[in-house]
Structure 1
Amino acid sequence: MLTTFRTWALDDTPTSRRQAAWGRRYRIWLALRRNPLAMIGLVIVVFFGGLAILAPLLAPWDPAAQDLAHRLARPSAAHWLGTDELGRDILSRILYGGRVTLGMVISIVIVVAPVGLVVGCVAGYFGGWIDTVLMRVTDVFLSFPRLILALALVAALHPGVESAIVAIALTAWPPYARIARAETLTVRSSDFIAACRLAGASPRRVVFRHIMPLCVPSVIVRVTLDMSSIIITAASLGFLGMGAQPPSPEWGAMLAIAKRFMLQEWWVALSPAMAILLVSLAFNFLGDGLRDVLDPKQN
């Protein structure tokens, strides 16, 4: 079956749009598979995503269950990664914390990528005062460091996961708008866009059906590369007490508590720190690989 699909997808003369689309996807996968670092990043991302999804099945203990008699216990057969200051199993909290941290990141990306794509495409296509207004708003958000602006927005709302998602989303969309605008400026004067206008296509149809799909690959690359900084920002908010609140097992919040025991009970801080490091590094590897595959300037 795989051989049949490979032959069908790699056919140089596709007979349908569906076959052509699957052919492009399969060629992207083959190119990505030749990059070992990208594959390592993909495996790590899938691994942590699977752990987060299957956390209720894999966690050996209730992440909120306290056992003060075994507080700050070293890693053992009963607690593979040890316990924290309240005797809670660190492995279980890491598994459930992946749901919180990665869930925040996915929620942010779902919001910011489409917003940035639409703003950039509209600004680049229409130009004039629309472009000026949208880009000046973008510049205002870009002028502030992401973490500082996110802290101010969370403080204006109230500490919590929802506030952290809103704050990071409001600070993360400008780079996508810039990329989409740059891509739109390069194609809006193309012959096929002129042909669409002559055929009677409305500006809305031109933007959403013809220009925006061309900007998606660059935005996907930027999203993948930006995931690590979003993870670090979300963890930083949790570390500073402005993100997920105790007893939520969020990786940044776990680090904030573990800093008191870092020199003596090192295992309490090591696990959430390694989780943040590995996932951030994996997204960087995967983003570099996707950039090599999807960005025509790199070919």
Structure 2
Amino acid sequence: MTASHAGPLSRRDWLLSERPASRMQARLGRAYVAWRRFSANRLAFVGLLIILALLVVAAFADVLAPYSPTIGDLKNARLLAPSAAHWFGTDDLGRDIYSRIIYGSRWTLYVVILVAIIAAPIGLLVGTVAGYAGGWTDAVLMRITDIFLAFPKLILALAFVAALGPGIENAVLAIAITSWPPYARIARAETLTVRNSDYIKAVQLMGASPFRIVLRHIMPLCVSSLIVRVTLDMAGIILTAAGLGFLGLGAQPPLPEWGTMIASGRRFVLDQWWVAGAPGFAILIVSLGFNLLGDGLRDALDPRSGDQ
């Protein structure tokens, strides 16, 4: 509802104006409405706080970690229980687990960000091209997508890592190769809904090339759905990376990657539970944060949900 009295508009009224005076005002208005929806979801806000905490921990790991993540005191500090000196205890090599988890947050973000940067654009490009071109192009690209979707993600990632060799970089590449098909499906579905719209027809009549139509007019319409799916997939990416590390095909010792830490602690899980329990709890919290954040973004960016 708009105010009927004359006078300067408040910032809120300006953002919620039904007749924006510029493209920037329209974008800011949509962002404001999405933020209102998101902030009203308390669980989503908790997820946002968890992810922000992860970013802060990764950025200031050198300050927050009291000990070296790779060098321990094997003689005097081996398998110590959690205490004031070692909050999460120590591992079989005398390394402080709290410090290793702090530094491990960097590797978690490293994997998540790189996979998103690689997989999301590939899926977006394949899906929009397939949806707009149609015909044999659509058939070929979607059958390739179906082949990737036919295999469980972890099994396919294991096959690629086995071929490329163990290591964190190869693990990232393998996870990215197995992560793009769902994004392609989403982008294709979005493209099919808009390719015959009056908006696209008008752009075609103006002489725009198919490449320009896909790049400038269709891809931006798919971004919001893709952001939601990528955020929801972050937990699965973390678990896949941890699984590869657990099997010895991801990050290699002495890197403080959480999956590798669980693998090294599985021998002591009955007596020294904290060695594997602490990194496992870290994976649980971060995965929960991404899932809550993704659910909130889905509700906030869904154009079909009215602003009540």
Matched residue SS, 2:221 = helix
Matched residue SS, 2:21 = coil
* 2:27 is aligned with 1:14: no
Cα drift, residue 53 of structure 1 = 1.3
Pick the aligned partner of 1:232 from 232, 236, 239.
Answer: 239
For residues 139-178 of structure 1, the aligned pairs below 5 Å read 139-178=146-185
Cα drift, residue 295 of structure 1 = 2.4
How far, CA to CA, are the matches of 1:169 and 1:266 in structure 2?
32
Higher helix share: 1
Answer yes or no: is the 8 Å Cα contact 1:217–1:294 preserved in 2.
yes
Q: Which amino acid aligns with 1:57?
A: V
Q: Gapped runs of 5+ residues in structure 2?
A: 1-8
Cα drift, residue 22 of structure 1 = 1.5
Question: What's the TM-score, normalizing by structure 2?
Answer: 0.93
Partner of 2:41: 35
Pick the aligned partner of 1:56 from 46, 62, 81.
Answer: 62
* Root mean square deviation, CA, Å: 1.4
Pick the aligned partner of 1:106 from 107, 113, 120.
Answer: 113
Q: Gapped runs of 5+ residues in structure 1?
A: none
Q: After superposition, what is the alpha-carbon deviation per residue over 1:13-33, rounded to whole angstroms, capped at 9, x for unaligned? A: 322211211221121111100
* 2:126 is aligned with 1:126: no
Answer yes or no: is the 8 Å Cα contact 1:64–1:88 preserved in 2.
yes
How far, CA to CA, are the matches of 2:305 and 2:181 in structure 1?
23
Cα drift, residue 8 of structure 1 = 4.0
Pick the aligned partner of 1:210 from 217, 228, 231.
Answer: 217
Answer yes or no: is the 8 Å Cα contact 1:90–1:268 preserved in 2.
yes
How far, CA to CA, are the matches of 1:9 and 1:49 in structure 2?
30
Partner of 1:84: 91
Cα drift, residue 77 of structure 1 = 1.5
Answer yes or no: is the 8 Å Cα contact 1:291–1:298 preserved in 2.
no
Answer yes or no: is the 8 Å Cα contact 1:80–1:91 preserved in 2.
yes
Partner of 1:135: 142
Q: 1:5 to 1:97 in 2, by over 3 A?
A: farther
Q: How many percent identity over aligned positions?
A: 63
Cα drift, residue 267 of structure 1 = 1.3
Answer yes or no: is the 8 Å Cα contact 1:81–1:91 preserved in 2.
yes
Q: After superposition, what is the alpha-carbon deviation per residue over 1:140-190, rounded to whole angstroms, capped at 9, x for unaligned? A: 111111101100110111100011011000100000000000110011000
How far, CA to CA, are the matches of 1:135 and 1:50 in structure 2?
40
Answer yes or no: is the 8 Å Cα contact 1:48–1:98 preserved in 2.
yes
How far, CA to CA, are the matches of 1:274 and 1:10 in structure 2?
42
How far, CA to CA, are the matches of 1:227 and 1:5 in structure 2?
35
Q: Which amino acid aligns with 2:170?
A: S
Q: 1:189 to 1:96 in 2, by over 3 A?
A: same
Answer yes or no: is the 8 Å Cα contact 1:259–1:269 preserved in 2.
yes
* 2:73 is aligned with 1:67: yes
Larger mean Cα displacement after TM superposition, 92-101 or 287-296: 287-296
Matched residue SS, 1:15 = coil
Matched residue SS, 1:153 = helix
Question: What's the TM-score, normalizing by structure 1?
Answer: 0.96
How far, CA to CA, are the matches of 1:272 and 1:297 in structure 2?
39
